[in-house]
A and B are shown apart, each in its own frame.
Chain A
Amino acid sequence: MKINGVHIDNTFAEAFPMKATRIIITALNLEWAWNSANAMTGFATSVIACGCEAGIEKELKPSQTPDGRPGYSVLLFTMSEKEMIKQIQNRVGQCVLTSPTSACFSGIHEGKKLALGKNLRYFGDGYQISKKIDGVRYWRVPVMDGEFLVEENTHMTKAVGGGNFLVLAENQEVALKACEKAIKAMKKVPDVIMPFPGGVVRSGSKVGSKYPSLPASTNDAFCPTLKGLVKSELDSSIGSVMEIVIDGLSQEAVNEATRVGVLAACSLGSKKGVKRISAGNYGGNLGPYHFHLRKILK
């Protein structure tokens, strides 16, 4: 299968079940909402060392937020409920509560309830005020710039983490350009985030390492500089590989993001140096979700 001359490998991405929540952050203006959302989703590229994977899902107009101010919705993914509780509390407590003019709301209203402002309210030292509006409890916590308004709970839903595809190109510049095009298109797809810096990861990993203490190590089969040394997946035309990892609230959302992303990456065409699209998997034995590239792109 070829798109615009770019070869699509007959392979699949292997993804895993995760837990997810959506949080809406608003502020006096978009700039301050972004400052807060960006801080909250910082250092959240991979559950391996960050505890969670998080990213800004989309910008929200005042008409789309509960308090009529501009904002952002962010998605947060973890492997367990316990970790989700910890991550929400730490990240909202340190990055949203602290951010001038911010307010914080649940962006999902089904699934298991988890504390959002329920524990953070104690920052108010007894001066916090509860308001129940349309059956939903909010907390008004007095802070130095006025009041921090936060919904008591958010909700946790089942999700899919680790969807991915690889862009194989002649050199770094072309690979990055193709990935940038893909991310731009994928950002328009709802219910997904690409958690790595700028949405792109250059250090894809394989399971295990020659060093016993490391659970994962560099994906040598896709490292262009090791072509002559290991059993490589790359031919002589490939000089650089980059990966886009996708976390989504549903299989359909990851499917759609993959489709949109691959098409955008391929739009650059093989003549400009994009050679192949592949995907990362572990033989299909570890993750229950398989995203077959050719099926998705049919």
Chain B
Amino acid sequence: MSKPLTFTLKEKIVHRLDLSVLTPDALEGKPLAKVKKIKIAVGKKRIDVDKLFVIEGDDTQNIIFKKSSDRFDNIGQGMSLGSIEVRGSAGDRLGHDMTGGEIRVKGDAGDWAGTGMKGGRIEIRKNAGRFLGGALPGQQHGQRGGIIHVFGHTADRTGDRMRRGMIVIEGNTGDYTGSRMIAGTIMICGQAGKNTGFGMKRGTIILTDQPQSIPATFNNCGTFELAFLKLIFNSLASSNRRLKELREYPSWVTRYAGDLGLDGKGELLVLK
């Protein structure tokens, strides 16, 4: 029986690592000897994988990074299948442009996690940095599909320029969540920061708690029972046991339409 391909960091690193070459797609069908000689960008240098990691296992579709740190950048970049487990924290651009498969991070994730993501699933068991599912500088869109689930909190600009897909945050968010959002859905189970939804064109931000403030460019449309929420809640409840209580959530919400500066076709839905 094959064992997950495990990369255990040998010693603490000073520079940032670009791990985009160690994905299930990139390693598919590669023998261990070749995997060991893959070069990884470390700062200015390119170093063989086996000089940085102890490598065990052979299942390239299930990859584990052990002793990982917040300097592990680009984990799962462009992956379309398989799974990656990060036992520790992840650096920036986790799951950048991924189209399928699953990434699970036991610790925190850096900035731009899920940027350009088109499909698959990212699970961050602690907190996420800025621009979760947001657009990289120069990019038109952030997340474009798939689902990101954060057990903890997120920093500012979560879902900036998000185009499609779903982000669920069990904790609080920083300021400007869903800023410049084009479409998609963000659900915040804790407290949302200031200016949530600022500049959003379309899309939905679901808030389980009444936020401290609603931007002035959002108008209250009243309180309704919206049937589509049941579908979203059921989908999320089936995706992770932690979210199973969503099945019991009511679909009654107060709807704030905005950002009126950009046509007002986005919405903040505050659960009753």
Contact = CB atoms under 8 A, between A and B. Distances in A.
Interface of A: 26, 66-69, 103, 127, 129-134, 138, 140, 146-147, 149
B228 A147 contact: yes
Interface string B168-186: 0000000000000001010
B126 interface: no
Residue with the highest number of chain A CB atoms closer than 10 Å, among B164, B183, B227, B228: B227
Contacts of B225: 146
Nearest to B255: A147
A149 B224 contact: no
Contact of A133 (B202, B226, B235): B235
Interface string B23-35: 0000000000000
A43 to B, nearest CB: 28
A149 B228 contact: yes
A67 B231 contact: yes
Contacts of B230: 66-68
A130 B183 contact: yes
B262 to A, nearest CB: 14
Contacts of B74: none
Interface in B175-214: 183, 185, 202, 204
B219 interface: no
B231 A129 contact: no
B interface SS class: mixed
Q: Which 3 A-B residue pairs are closest in the complex by CB-CB distance?
A: A149-B227, A67-B227, A67-B230
13 contacts: A67-B227, A67-B231, A68-B230, A129-B202, A129-B267, A131-B204, A132-B164, A133-B228, A133-B235, A134-B235, A138-B231, A140-B226, A146-B225
A interface SS class: strand
Contacts, number: 44
B80 to A, nearest CB: 15
A66 B267 CA distance: 23
B232 A133 contact: yes
Contacts of A132: 145, 164
Contacts of A129: 202, 204, 265, 267
A186 B226 CA distance: 36
Contacts of A134: 235
A24 to B, nearest CB: 13
B235 A147 contact: no
B234 interface: yes
Contacts of B267: 129
B145 to A, nearest CB: 8
A68 B251 CA distance: 11
B231 A66 contact: yes
B230 to A, nearest CB: 5
Contacts of B234: 66, 68
B100 to A, nearest CB: 12
Contacts of A146: 224-226
Contacts of A140: 226, 228
A133 B235 CA distance: 7
A144 B235 CA distance: 27
A131 B204 CA distance: 9
A138 B145 CA distance: 15
A47 B144 CA distance: 44
A64 to B, nearest CB: 13
Nearest to A134: B235
B265 A127 contact: yes
A242 to B, nearest CB: 41
B224 A147 contact: yes
Residue with the highest number of chain A CB atoms closer than 10 Å, among B225, B230, B235: B230
Contacts of A127: 265
A221 B4 CA distance: 75
A73 B7 CA distance: 52
A66 B232 CA distance: 10
Interface in B19-45: none
A26 B227 CA distance: 10
A267 to B, nearest CB: 42
Contacts of B227: 26, 67, 69, 103, 147, 149
A144 B232 CA distance: 23
Nearest to B267: A129
A207 B113 CA distance: 68
A115 B22 CA distance: 42
Contacts of B265: 127, 129
Nearest to A66: B231
Nearest to A27: B227
A105 B202 CA distance: 24
